[in-house]
Structure 1
Amino acid sequence: MAREKAMVFVLYGFTCLTALAWLTGLTADVSVLPKPEKLLSRPLQREQEVNQQLNTSALNTALAFEPYRDLATSTAAEQQQHNILFSPLGLASALALLSQVSVSESRSQALEALGLAANATEQSVEATLSALADLQHSLTLHEGGGVQRAETRAGTGIGATPWVEIEGDDAGNRTDGDDGAEGRNGTEGGVHPGGQLRVWSSLHIDGTPSVDYNSFLFRPRHTSAFNTSFDTLMKDLEASDKLELTNYVHFKGRQPFARQHTVPRSFQLNATTSVEVAMMFGDDSSEVMMLYDTNCSATVVRLAHSQRLASLLLLPKAELQPLEDCLSDERMSFWRSNLKPGRAEIRFPKFQLRKSYSLESLLRNSGVSSVFSHSADFSGLSQKTLKLAKAPHEVMLEVEETEYEDGGRPDITLDFSVPPRITFNRPFMLIIYDDLTGLVLLMGRIIDPTDV
């Protein structure tokens, strides 16, 4: 009887998340991308409403800045010279899944990392998980002059979180079988949104055939979901006591630069070593949001990918470590609140970066340990003792130009003190986030853009 109740609870929780995500998609709003200053000055009422259910500050601290600091201060000297890239949104997705299939301390730790107090009621838990599912689905909105091409697929499996995608204006170049006719017709008003985001978390039996990361990247959009079904999972558990959680994230961001202006240039890795990279170029004909933070000795530039998705590009004046020491949710809030419109020439490297970590290594300083130990309690799935044998977190970031050529806009005289040319030709950081809630989606540092 206890097992039946546990199964009913888990299926109910997943059904609520999936239904909410589906319903959210019916109200998708397609609008023209506003100017950055208008975007940042819109009322905070919607953000406050979302944050009442989703503790964005706690999520950023536990799943973004603490894991980053742990990776950046690794005791291995060689690791300190490597690129870093991970996805706090992916971590939140994995924790939400784990909270649905675990109980006792394992579940409590997962929920606390999601910003819930230890004594949180089930109603609060349900509201937070629903808000997280709602947020993840909302990021599928195609915001700009084009036609909405967003869609969400929920697997039939236990706790299958929907993968989401934002389709830019290059729909005609897809190779997945979609005709993409609407995307090939261009966009309105010169607005060219450029961001694709996919997030996938699934639970299956260790050693059983599963989708690897390359299959995740190139999976045709219109095939059926690939997560193990609940019935199959329960059947496999009869012959195995090892689980595997896969957590995949892919973001492809197109910057507002014309391809014909991309040229090879030098990127200085350190005082003695440099590499050649394809450097994109944006002239000063369009306004960007930026500031210089004297406390962190860094230039901060904001570039929008869509109405919801944006990047903070962080270029230190000299060494990267003082900037890394500055990182916090409070500092990020300061940057977002103090960005000013201005004009500057920007040079930024075109690159592709792929990193893989274990969830355990990323979450060890966030209080999530029980679920990865021999004492993990997965009685929400089975009464037998189960162990989470593998839990990879794999992320890919692609940064490239848009395909169009911007004719430019009339010059406007502005009183702005930031230097007119900002060149990312040395190690820098980036934070990709949801502008509505401030939640960090991807975060990393680029030491060597040629080290994929």
Structure 2
Amino acid sequence: MAREEAMVFVMYGFTYLTALAWLTGLTADGSVLPNPEKLLSRPLRREQEVNQQLNTSALNTALAFEPYRDLATSTAAEQQQHNILFSPLGLASALVLLSRVSGAESRSQALQALGLAADATQQSVDATLSALADLQRSLALHEGGGVQRAESAAGTGAGIGTTPGEETGEEDAGNTSDAYDGPEGRNDTEGGVHPGGQLRVWSSLHVDGKPSLDYNSFMLRPQPTSAFNRSFDTLMKDLEASDKLELTNYVHFKGRQPFERRHTVPRSFQLNATASVDVAMMLGDDSLEAMMLYDTNCSATVVRLAHSERLASLLLLPKAELQPLEDCLSDARMSFWRSNLKPGRAEIRFPKFQLRKSYSLESLLRKSGVSSVFSHLADFSGISQKTLKLAKAPHEVMLEVEETEYEDRGRPDIMLDFSVPPRITFNRPFMLIIYDDLTGLVLLMGRIIDPTDV
């Protein structure tokens, strides 16, 4: 009886990660949480209050900048010429799951990578995990529109056994408009914000070799959680005949930039000193006000463009080679950029592209101190007393960057300015950091060496 109760607790640990409890209104002990619609209507917590629960600097360092540096300085010569894309938010999602199913050592490693001290109290642990689940849920639900918003919720593994409308509290879940309807049911384009962010995150644990949700299914199905609905019974049964587990971690972000589609034209992108490719280059003319700066220490131009009210991108264009900029990366440098960006007008050209990358969670997390769960001594006593091995742990991320649907055909008169606006053209290798503007947490980051290499 005690063992059965322990198993049930672990299963609810899985759903804790995916914020199922928030969306279904049930807690692990069966009590009822506040109505999800009321939760959605709560005003966002101030950044200071959020950071009291999330050690954003530690998270960014361990899950964003350190893994990026490892990927960028790979000893394989060919790797130096490749695109890089991964998701620190996806890594955090996987770590929360691992912390729920692992024994003491692996759990401690996972929690430390999430910014918790080794001697953290259970209260601190619960607060951090709760804040991460709340953040993931908030971003998934608020940064999309209509059916896309429902898919975002489904992508986190939320809302099992419910319809998309029930998951999100949306009455018009069938709305397929690409534009995001703001609080007043209108397109909010004030302040240079042209909404169009769609974020989905998915993490799950299952027996290796058994049918599971692959990335293509994750992308195509509006509710990729039906298999997860029976994962507890299935996992327990499958473990009777297997000792191998697989942890899947998928992330998708579709970000529409504030450019009009009619201005997109083919242009040359310089890969290196001798090679170039043609890409579809978007244009933001000098009527668009952006936040920008030139960092002399990193020899790079930094441009901030908003995807929505919360999600934004830092676009980093080095003056020459990319490596000095990569060497400059840190959480402190990112904070400097965010604090010193100034509004200005510029003609911005940026490539339209789609990029998908896959890595092993082991390779991304080992340098962050998470190693025991991937070894032959892995302890999964949270779900079984038998010796289990994590056979596979893929981390797959897709990023789509395109124009908004929005076209300003009725622009107000603009005062004549006879000065020549600066031109910022991303026609050579650059970097990007997609982050939550409320907390400063990095959600995706990478470098684009070749925007045509999908």
Query: Does the 8 A contact of 1:285 with 1:410 survive in 2?
Result: no
1:102 is matched with which residue? 102
Counterpart CA distance in 2 for 1:99 and 1:268 is 44
- The CA distance in 2 between the partners of 1:245 and 1:206, in whole Å, is 9
Shift of 1:225: 3.0
Q: Deviations over 1:284-331 (max 9, x none)?
A: 112111111010000000010011100000000000001000000000
Identify the match of residue 28 of structure 1 among 40, 45, 48.
40
Shift of 1:150: 3.1
Structure 1 pair 189/449, CA: closer, same or farther in 2 (3 Å)? closer
Q: 2:360 maps to what in 1?
A: 358
Indicate how the Cα distance of structure 1 residues 30 and 296 shifts in structure 2: closer, same or farther if over 3 A, else same: same
Instruction: Label 1:421 to 1:307 Cα distance change in 2 as closer, same or farther (>3 A).
Output: same
In structure 1, give the amino acid aligned to 2:107. Answer: R
Q: What amino acid is aligned across from residue 136 of structure 1 in structure 2?
A: Q
What is the 5 A alignment of 1:181-220? 187-188=186-187, 190=189, 192-220=194-222
- 1:425 pairs with 424, 427, 445, which one? 427
Task: Answer yes or no: is 1:130 the counterpart of 2:126.
Answer: no
Shift of 1:181: 6.8
Partner of 1:82: 82
Alpha-carbon distance in structure 2 between the residues aligned to 1:406 and 1:140: 27
Aligned residue for 1:380, secondary structure, equals coil
Change (3 A) 1:339 1:184: closer
Paired residue for 1:406?
Answer: 408
- Cα distance per residue 1:9-67 (max 9 Å; x no partner): 42454465532456565333599xxxxxxxxxxxx971111111111100000000000
Deviation, 1:155, is 4.5
Q: Deviations over 1:241-300 (max 9, x none)?
A: 000000000001101111111000000001111110000001011211111101000000
The answer to whether the aligner puts 1:445 opposite 2:441 as a matched pair is no
Task: Go from structure 1 to structure 2 and tell me whether the alpha carbon gap of 1:413 and 1:101 turns closer, same or farther (over 3 Å shift).
Answer: farther
The answer to whether residue 252 in structure 2 is matched with residue 256 in structure 1 is no
Query: Equivalent residue of 2:209, what SS?
Result: coil
* 2:378 equivalent to 1:376: yes
Label 1:321 to 1:15 Cα distance change in 2 as closer, same or farther (>3 A).
closer
Tell me the distance in 2 between the aligned counterparts of 1:240 and 1:148.
38
- Name the Cα RMSD after superposition: 3.1
Distance of aligned partners of 1:328 and 1:350 in 2 relative to their CA distance in 1, 3 Å threshold? same
CA separation of 1:25 and 1:334: change in aligned 2, threshold 3 A: farther
Secondary structure of the structure 2 residue equivalent to 1:229: helix
Letter in 1 for 2:122: E
Give 1:211-290 correspondences, 5 Å limit: 211-221=213-223, 225-227=226-228, 228-290=230-292
Rounded Cα–Cα distance in structure 2 between residues aligned with 1:78 and 1:319: 17
Match of 2:39, SS?
coil
Tell me the residue number matched to 1:140.
Answer: 140
User: Where do 1:34-53 residues align within 5 Å?
Assistant: 46-53=46-53
What does 1:336-347 align with in structure 2 at a 5 Å threshold? 336-347=338-349
Residues 292 and 238 (structure 1), Cα distance of their counterparts in 2 relative to 1, 3 Å cut: same
Tell me by how many angstroms 1:405 deviates: 1.6
The letter of the residue matching 1:367 is G
5+ residue gaps, structure 2:
25-33
Between the aligned partners of 1:224 and 1:360, the Cα distance in structure 2 is 25
Q: 1:117 corresponds to which residue?
A: 117
Write the letter of the residue equivalent to 1:68.
Y
Kindly provide the amino acid, as one letter, of the partner of residue 27 in structure 1.
L
1:124-158 deviations in Å (ceiling 9; x for gaps):
111111100000011034469x7797343465999
> What CA distance in whole angstroms lies between the structure 2 residues aligned with 1:352 and 1:181?
21
* Shift of residue 120, structure 1, vs aligned partner: 1.3
Aligned to 2:149: 150
Contact 1:30/1:143, CA 8 A, preserved across alignment: no
TM-score (norm 1): 0.86
Q: What does residue 313 of structure 2 align with?
A: 311
Contact 2:148 2:198 in 1 (8 A): no
Contact 2:281 2:351 in 1 (8 A): yes
State the secondary structure of the residue aligned to 1:100. Answer: helix
SS in 1 for 2:149: coil
Provide structure 1 residue ranges, at least 5 long, that are not aligned to the other structure. Answer: 32-43, 167-171
In the alignment, is residue 180 of structure 1 matched against residue 176 of structure 2? Answer: yes
Per the normalisation by structure 2, the TM-score is: 0.86
Identity among equivalent positions (%) equals 80
Seen in structure 2, the aligned counterparts of structure 1 residues 438 and 382 have a Cα distance that, compared at 3 Å, is same
How many corresponding residue pairs? 423
Give 1:121 deviation, angstroms. Answer: 1.8
Deviation of 1:226 after TM superposition, in Å, equals 3.0
